[in-house]
């Protein structure tokens, strides 16, 4: 059998739903003009929360890069299943997730992991809202702060969450050790390689957001889901138990 025939032998594919790459859709010239919308989430409610201070610095950098940053305060957000989705803090979070085109997640490392406060926020973000996936195809940058030596446990966990939520998690990340030494008496971050890394991460986030926001739906369009009916899809993503 000729090599070309072997390569063309794909009996499992359903041609009705199998599409070749559409470069016109992938490289659309119809570009959005508004500033990239970036939502920032942090994982500590302490009065002097270093993850919050880190988000404040990140928001300033994002604004200088031409983005529109908004920061969500998790104070008052109930635990998942301890209130319904109509709770005002839940609605505020979900509205911001719908609004944004990219996100920054920053958690302290506590007991070798992200904080419960950080995970609670992510847990309140549904995979589907009225048949629309609010996070699919949006960009994500992950950061962490530590009270001791440098670690990457929290950012690694945040990456797993980001993939699960179908977010386009950028390659760069930030981990700041002994965060209490990195801020001055005015709660501003001191000049350092750790600050420079945050600038790098925010710059990369804005670039990836600009590159992908116009065609995020096409980037994550799936052959398997084109085969699946809308009713089957709704049943699968809204199932109450696994």
Q: Is the pLDDT of residue 209 over 90?
A: yes
DSSP 114: -
Instruction: Count how many domains the chain has.
Output: 1
- Let me know if residue 232 belongs to a domain: no
CATH of the domain at 65: 3.40.50.360
Residue 129, pLDDT score = 72
- Let me know if residue 127 belongs to a domain: yes
**Residues spanned by the domain of 55:** 33-214
Residue 221, pLDDT score = 82
Sign of torsion, CA 40 42 48 53?
negative
Instruction: Using alpha carbons, select from 116, 128, 130 the residue that is nearest to residue 165.
Output: 128
7-56 confidence digits (pLDDT tens): 667 777 787 887 777 888 878 778 889 999 999 999 999 999 999 999 99
Q: Is the pLDDT of residue 228 over 70?
A: yes
- Let me know if residue 126 belongs to a domain: yes
Confidence of residue 242 (pLDDT cuts 50, 70, 90): very low
- Let me know if residue 24 belongs to a domain: no
Mean confidence (pLDDT) of the chain: 88
- Let me know if residue 117 belongs to a domain: yes
> What average pLDDT does this structure show over 172-180?
94
- Let me know if residue 68 belongs to a domain: yes
- Let me know if residue 17 belongs to a domain: no
- Let me know if residue 116 belongs to a domain: yes
């Amino acid at each position: 059998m000729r090599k070309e025939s072997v390569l063309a032998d794909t009996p499992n594919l359903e041609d009705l739903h199998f599409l070749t790459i559409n470069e016109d859709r992938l490289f659309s010239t119809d570009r959005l003009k508004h500033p990239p919308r970036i939502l920032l989430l942090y994982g500590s409610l302490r009065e002097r929360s270093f993850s919050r201070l880190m988000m404040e610095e990140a928001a300033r950098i994002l604004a200088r890069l031409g983005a529109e940053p908004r920061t969500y305060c998790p104070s008052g957000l109930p635990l998942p299943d301890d209130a319904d989705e109509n709770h005002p803090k839940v609605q505020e979070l979900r509205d911001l997730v719908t609004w944004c085109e990219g996100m920054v997640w920053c958690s302290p490392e506590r007991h070798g992991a992200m904080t419960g406060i950080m995970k609670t926020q992510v847990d309140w973000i549904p995979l589907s809202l009225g048949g629309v996936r609010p996070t699919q195809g949006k960009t994500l940058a992950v950061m962490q702060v530590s009270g001791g030596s440098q670690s990457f446990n929290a950012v690694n966990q945040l990456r797993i969450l980001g993939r699960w939520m179908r977010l386009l998690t950028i390659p760069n990340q930030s981990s700041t050790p002994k965060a209490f030494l990195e801020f001055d008496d005015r709660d501003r971050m001191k000049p350092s390689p750790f600050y420079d890394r945050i600038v790098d991460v925010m710059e990369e986030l804005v670039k990836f957001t600009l590159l992908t926001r116009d065609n995020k739906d096409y980037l994550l369009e799936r052959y398997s889901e084109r085969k699946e009916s809308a009713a089957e899809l709704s049943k699968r993503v809204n199932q109450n138990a696994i």
